[in-house]
């Protein structure tokens, strides 16, 4: 039995305010391209089943374009006569009962089986049972649904568990409404042939509770694209698993990469700005997202260094994101932004850069006295 597992496609996500040749947000188009690549692989691989473990859409009320794209792709998959089982994730689940779940739009596809009602749903075939646990807003009902799942295991068939949640603290995404699977119920995993997870955006087997060992049958497939520039992964893709029909139901898990827009991280050390600029390598930034960090930056330098001059270093990049990490002259600590400096601190840093130590010490006391008088007069006025 061959099963293709993918997840967290976040259709409709957009960012960076850059349009492609069709006047579509370029990052939104990247997500559509990633999904299309997987559909093309489905056609090529021809698995026995397809499973998607949540966050098909980025929002519970996606745009018309995102819905139209999804329907077109699902029609292609549906025509392959391959059962496609998908569950709702936290991004695709309404936060109130007043909204209709978006996954209902797929109910009229003959080969699509959607689980979105915030409760356990058993989807059964001749030789396999899919135990689906979609995202649940209410943790108090989740335990009952997990126990219902456990009681529905059919030892005569293969059992596949599907969830969109955090399993273990390592996989927390720190998102609103995140569902954390109870650790005392992890023993259920051993009763399953495979546990397919969504929510965490990286591929990998899940660690066994309280140990450094990994479950051999519990996997996050990861997302197909990045929903944050904090995600530096250049490897995204899906899982193809083979379950051999032997006494042990031997499992083989293979990760297949797709092509995504690369992200390149560059650093410019402002303590030796000119030399650091000369050492910058932009040869790998064609059509990439470039994340540039200016380090050891003084507030005075920050005024002189324009974002436009940094972006000119990477003419072939799709987008250049610039972060400024300021040094604090009075200590080794860093501050994230010039706005974190008070006017007094900014002025002191300015005179420290241009004065000898003795002169700076003399001026420092005078400056602090003047600012103190200014604050007092301001408070009296208010």
Low-confidence ranges of the chain (pLDDT < 50): 330-341, 376, 378-382
Q: How far apart are CA 297 and CA 311, in angstroms?
A: 17
The confidence score (pLDDT) of residue 354 equals 60
> Cβ distance 7 to 55 under 8 Å?
yes
> Cβ distance 224 to 9 under 8 Å?
yes
Put simply, whether the predicted model's pTM sits higher than 0.85 gets the answer: no
- Those residues whose C-beta lies under 8 Å from the C-beta of residue 14, and which sit 6 or more positions away, are 25, 27, 28
> Cβ distance 71 to 32 under 8 Å?
no
| Fold category of 2-258 in CATH | Purple Acid Phosphatase; chain A, domain 2 (3.60.21)
Q: Are strands 128-133 and 121-124 parallel, antiparallel or unpaired?
A: antiparallel
Sequence spans of domains, the chain = 2-258, 264-381
Residue 114 tokens, joined: 């959607």
Phi first, then psi: what are they for 281, rounded to 5°?
Answer: -105, 115
Ranges of beta strands (E only) in the chain are: 2-6, 49-52, 84-87, 112-115, 121-124, 128-133, 158-164, 194-198, 204-207, 214-220, 236-243, 251-258, 263-269, 289-297, 319-327, 334-335
Residue 127 tokens, joined: 């030789």
The confidence score (pLDDT) of residue 332 equals 42
The confidence score (pLDDT) of residue 217 equals 96
The confidence score (pLDDT) of residue 319 equals 95
The confidence score (pLDDT) of residue 373 equals 58
Question: Residue 68: is it exposed, middle or buried by C-beta count within 10 angstroms (0-12/13-18/19+)?
Answer: exposed
Residue 296 tokens, joined: 């050891």
């Amino acid at each position: 039995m061959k099963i293709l597992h993918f997840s967290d496609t976040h259709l409709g996500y957009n960012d960076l305010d850059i349009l492609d040749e069709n006047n579509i947000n370029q990052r939104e188009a990247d997500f559509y391209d990633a999904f299309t690549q997987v559909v093309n692989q489905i056609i090529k691989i021809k698995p026995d089943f397809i499973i998607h473990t949540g966050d098909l859409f980025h929002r519970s009320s996606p745009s018309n374009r995102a819905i139209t794209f999804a329907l077109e792709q699902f029609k292609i998959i549906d025509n392959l006569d391959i059962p496609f089982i998908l569950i709702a994730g936290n991004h695709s689940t309404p936060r109130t009962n007043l909204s209709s779940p978006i996954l209902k739009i797929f109910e009229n596809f003959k080969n699509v089986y959607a689980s979105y009602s915030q409760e356990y749903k058993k989807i059964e075939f001749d030789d396999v049972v899919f135990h689906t646990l979609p995202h649940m807003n209410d943790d108090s009902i989740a335990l009952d649904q997990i126990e219902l799942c456990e009681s529905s295991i059919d030892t005569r068939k293969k059992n596949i568990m599907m969830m969109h949640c955090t399993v273990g603290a390592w996989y927390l995404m720190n998102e609103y409404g995140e569902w954390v699977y109870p650790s005392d119920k992890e023993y259920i995993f051993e009763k399953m042939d495979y546990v397919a997870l969504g929510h965490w955006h990286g591929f990998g087997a899940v660690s066994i509770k309280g140990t450094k060992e990994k479950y051999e049958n519990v996997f996050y497939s990861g997302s197909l694209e990045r929903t944050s520039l904090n995600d530096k992964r250049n490897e995204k893709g899906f899982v193809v698993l083979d379950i051999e029909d032997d006494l042990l139901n031997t499992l083989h898990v293979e990760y297949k990469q797709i092509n995504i827009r690369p992200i390149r991280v560059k650093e410019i050390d402002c303590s030796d700005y000119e030399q650091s600029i000369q050492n910058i390598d932009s040869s790998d930034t064609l059509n990439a997202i470039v994340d540039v960090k200016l380090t050891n930056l003084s507030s005075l330098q920050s005024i002189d260094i324009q974002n436009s001059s940094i972006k000119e270093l990477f003419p072939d990049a799709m987008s250049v994101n610039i972060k400024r990490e300021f040094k604090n002259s009075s200590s080794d600590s860093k501050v994230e932004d010039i706005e974190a400096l008070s006017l007094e601190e900014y002025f002191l840093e300015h005179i420290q850069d241009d004065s000898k130590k003795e002169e700076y010490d003399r001026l420092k006391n005078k400056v602090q006295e003047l600012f103190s008088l200014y604050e007092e007069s301001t408070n009296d006025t208010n």
